[in-house]
Structure 1
Amino acid sequence: MSPVSSHSPHGQSPLRTVQVLGGGNAGSSAHVRSLASGLVARGVKVTVCAPVEADRIYDFTGAGAEHVHVPRSSDPGSVAALRAACADADLVHAHGLHASFRAVLALSGRRTPLVVTWHDRARAEGARAHLVRLLERRVVKAASVVLGATSALVDRARTTGARDARLAAVALPGPRRTVRLEDPERLRPKVRAELGAIGRPLLMAVGSLDRHRGYDTLLDASRAWRALDPVPLVVIAGEGPLRAELQSRIEDEELPVRLIGRRDDVTDLLAAADLALLSSSWESRSLLAQEALHARVPLVATDVGSMPELVGDAAELVPYGDPQALADAVVRLLGDPARCEELREKGVRQAATWPTEDETVAQVLSVYDELTQPRPLI
């Protein structure tokens, strides 16, 4: 591969890129923040188009990018705002289906190269599933290159009609936290005390309170753990439409589960946990799975999507929607310190095979250079 340039391939002004976000997905937002920081460090001009609340959370401007507020797709002015922001771009890079579709509309009639990254599969049922398929087809046919975070997403892009689809595994962004006075060993008991897990195992789940997360299965499994002594505490960090329904079940059935809402200290929460749990019906490149392995926390996850590809043999995988299998796996691990230590060591080795942030930025920038270099006259 030729060396990656830190300037415009034309040797004049810096490469001008626009990153487009829908504003809803934590994984893609964290990736864009990491990408913006790495690109700016290499001399690339970066504009991030996303709702203003996304900039408040992910601080794109703090990474050296310019932030342009573009409202969510339901706002009729979003395409016009995006078209104006892309007027001087050498290349546009959109993340996720809805952001990509708006980018296609905004670039209509222009020859600006469009790169699309699929971080996850769009979930829909019934008539909406047909609409999603139509949007996917429109996007991949308009894109110069489609990057898939997993091989399954690359295959999906190709079967949908992409002319150029490539694997571009997204690195886990490093934690952006304020410097703490405490070391991790002193912080761990503080976090456990705050969560109410003194003298009992702490099981940690993280993710939006949506149907596909499989939290109904997790609550079913937690019934079995009430027979253990001491009773493990399940803590779920995240917000979403199922909060009231889940909270009602927790109270009615007296389950050892706590909902703590959205948190920005997930790294600390995981570091304090005995096990991490992931009960989803589908996962692409799960942030929770990556963070758990990096934090040396044994992971129990559903054997779905690209989870086996991501974690290899460094986690306990169970069938989706099987509360008994989930409950049994947790009980086994809580009673087997040697197996937990084995998973920790395997997790460290598996995490070492994933791309770094620097490698991810270099790969993306090589795609940019490829698409913006002038073609020789034949």
Structure 2
Amino acid sequence: MRIGIVCPYSWDVPGGVQLHIRDLSEHLVREGHDVSVLAPSDDETPLPWYVVSAGRAVPVPYNGSVARLNFGFLSAARVRRWVHDGDFDVLHIHEPATPSLALLACWAAQGPIVATFHTSNPRSRAMIAAYPILQPALEKISARIAVSEYARRTFVEHLGGDAVVIPNGVDVGFFAEAAPKREWQDGTIGFIGRIDEPRKGLPVLIKALPRILEALPGTRLLVAGRGDEEEAVAGLPAELRGRVEFLGMVSDEDKARLLRSVDLYVAPNTGGESFGIILVEAMSSGAPVLASDLDAFAQVLDGGEAGQLFAGGDPDALADAAVGLLGDPARRAELRERGRRHVRRFDWSTVGADILSVYETVTDGATSVAPDERTGLRARFGLAARE
């Protein structure tokens, strides 16, 4: 199958959507499909062979963060040429409600379109205001996927229709088989995320750290991600700042090794999350997970069975939970085992098969399905009605 995938966000700034698209593309290639990805990127960014650059992106505030998007007349021309030359059996567009390549691809495409919605934002004024512009493009979509129930809810409330929930995928084996790193072990808490993005929650964790260190003085916090390191620890007493080690941006291999090494992984995010891929990666690595009680995180962690939840935004609640877990090896071992069992449903062997089922249903091959069965498939995958 010839599959075109559109990434709305710049390839050179890693994020959950970009990583999902990368891993999906590589899974599809391994399965024997012909895949091309169109994405914004800076000229100097090294790209995988299957990624086509649509040009440089510009930063735009979006959903409590800053997204790097590409939009305009030149971009539209590049999208039309890529769609025409690709002659795809199916076009898979991510975040088509953003003013980006995804929306441009919706306008340009003629064949079957699958759209994945990642955003969770129950009160998006921008999405409501943009609906009259979005509607003609969205009506061309053949099937809709949401990465979580909360992303599905955002789509339904703002844009109408429905979507099937297929979660983000992870190569569970890659994380499970990583080798721990000795210097990252023994009394360590891990955090991975953009340091200077408040909703990722590092300020909450930093505020909790003095109470954690008071109870367990040997604890260290390992932080992987880009941002201003000095500003991140400015609120800590000077004598405690040495207990925080900044690793900067890490490779995928070192991320897996970090998660395999820590005694506890903490996700203190404060909002704007539709899924929580880092939680799945942590569980795949066997790290016990402590996460804020965001709805999306609770769903990923099986309601708190596969990881412990604390009251989001509350440093004292985080500190109490972290001290309790770090002092209870048996409880951490229990969370590790539950996480390992639960995470299997997120492996690409399952997630990729579900996405391929959607592709197959919207392509011409679906015409061989009996009419009554096809109706059931359309209902399952949130497909647009066809005459």
The CA deviation at 1:318 is: 0.3
The secondary structure found in structure 2 opposite 1:285 is: coil
User: 1:155-234 maps to which residues of 2 (within 5 A)?
Assistant: 155-173=153-171, 184=179, 187-189=180-182, 191-192=183-184, 201-209=187-195, 210-234=197-221
The CA deviation at 1:243 is: 4.5
The CA deviation at 1:52 is: 3.8
The secondary structure found in structure 1 opposite 2:214 is: coil
Residue 63 of structure 2 corresponds to: none
Residue 51 of structure 1 corresponds to: 40
1:366 to 1:74, Cα distance in 2 relative to 1, 3 A: closer
Residues in 2 aligned to 1:107 and 1:74: alpha-carbon distance in whole angstroms? 14
Residue 18 of structure 2 corresponds to: 29
**1:71-90: CA deviation from partner (whole Å, max 9, x where unpaired):** 32356433322222112333
May I ask how many residue pairs the two structures share in their alignment?
Answer: 342
The CA deviation at 1:316 is: 1.3
Structure 2 counterpart of 1:356, which letter? D
Residue 79 of structure 1 corresponds to: 76
Residue 4 of structure 1 corresponds to: none
1:364 to 1:78, Cα distance in 2 relative to 1, 3 A: same
Q: Give the structure-2-normalised TM-score.
A: 0.77
The CA deviation at 1:45 is: 2.1
8 A contact 2:119–2:154 mirrored in 1: no
User: 1:276-295 maps to which residues of 2 (within 5 A)?
Assistant: 276-282=265-271, 283-295=273-285
The CA deviation at 1:56 is: 5.3
1:320 to 1:20, Cα distance in 2 relative to 1, 3 A: same
Residues in 1 aligned to 2:350 and 2:280: alpha-carbon distance in whole angstroms? 16
The secondary structure found in structure 1 opposite 2:246 is: strand
Provide the aligned C-alpha RMSD in A. Answer: 3.2
Residue 289 of structure 2 corresponds to: 299
Residues in 1 aligned to 2:199 and 2:131: alpha-carbon distance in whole angstroms? 20
8 A contact 1:303–1:320 mirrored in 2: yes
The CA deviation at 1:205 is: 0.6
Residue 12 of structure 1 corresponds to: none
Q: Which runs of 5+ in 2 are unaligned?
A: 58-68, 369-385
Q: Which runs of 5+ in 1 are unaligned?
A: 1-6, 8-14
Structure 1 counterpart of 2:190, which letter? M
The CA deviation at 1:32 is: 1.6
The CA deviation at 1:244 is: 4.9
Structure 2 counterpart of 1:289, which letter? L
Further displaced range: 318-327 or 242-251? 242-251
Residues in 2 aligned to 1:154 and 1:363: alpha-carbon distance in whole angstroms? 16
Residue 320 of structure 1 corresponds to: 312
The CA deviation at 1:279 is: 0.3
The CA deviation at 1:109 is: 5.9
1:161 to 1:258, Cα distance in 2 relative to 1, 3 A: same
The CA deviation at 1:143 is: 2.8
The secondary structure found in structure 2 opposite 1:171 is: coil
User: 1:122-161 maps to which residues of 2 (within 5 A)?
Assistant: 129-135=124-130, 138=134, 140-161=138-159
Matched, 1:60 2:53: no
The secondary structure found in structure 2 opposite 1:204 is: strand
1:109 to 1:340, Cα distance in 2 relative to 1, 3 A: closer
The CA deviation at 1:203 is: 0.4
Further displaced range: 307-316 or 46-55? 46-55
Residues in 1 aligned to 2:284 and 2:3: alpha-carbon distance in whole angstroms? 34
8 A contact 1:202–1:232 mirrored in 2: yes
The CA deviation at 1:157 is: 1.5
8 A contact 1:79–1:103 mirrored in 2: no
Residue 29 of structure 2 corresponds to: 40
Residues in 1 aligned to 2:129 and 2:158: alpha-carbon distance in whole angstroms? 9
The CA deviation at 1:168 is: 1.1
Residue 257 of structure 2 corresponds to: 268
Structure 1 counterpart of 2:349, which letter? D
Residue 327 of structure 2 corresponds to: 335
Residues in 2 aligned to 1:71 and 1:135: alpha-carbon distance in whole angstroms? 24
Matched, 1:351 2:351: no
The CA deviation at 1:173 is: 3.2
Matched, 1:372 2:360: no
8 A contact 1:235–1:258 mirrored in 2: yes
**1:31-66: CA deviation from partner (whole Å, max 9, x where unpaired):** 222222232344432111113469957x532xxx35
The secondary structure found in structure 1 opposite 2:346 is: coil
Residues in 1 aligned to 2:151 and 2:249: alpha-carbon distance in whole angstroms? 28
Equivalent residue for 2:298, pick from 287, 291, 308 = 308
8 A contact 2:172–2:281 mirrored in 1: no
Equivalent residue for 1:245, pick from 210, 231, 237 = 231
Further displaced range: 112-121 or 302-311? 112-121
8 A contact 1:22–1:95 mirrored in 2: no
Spell out structure 1 runs of 4+ moving beyond 6 A. Answer: none
Structure 1 counterpart of 2:214, which letter? A
Residue 66 of structure 2 corresponds to: none
Residue 10 of structure 1 corresponds to: none
Residues in 1 aligned to 2:323 and 2:71: alpha-carbon distance in whole angstroms? 48
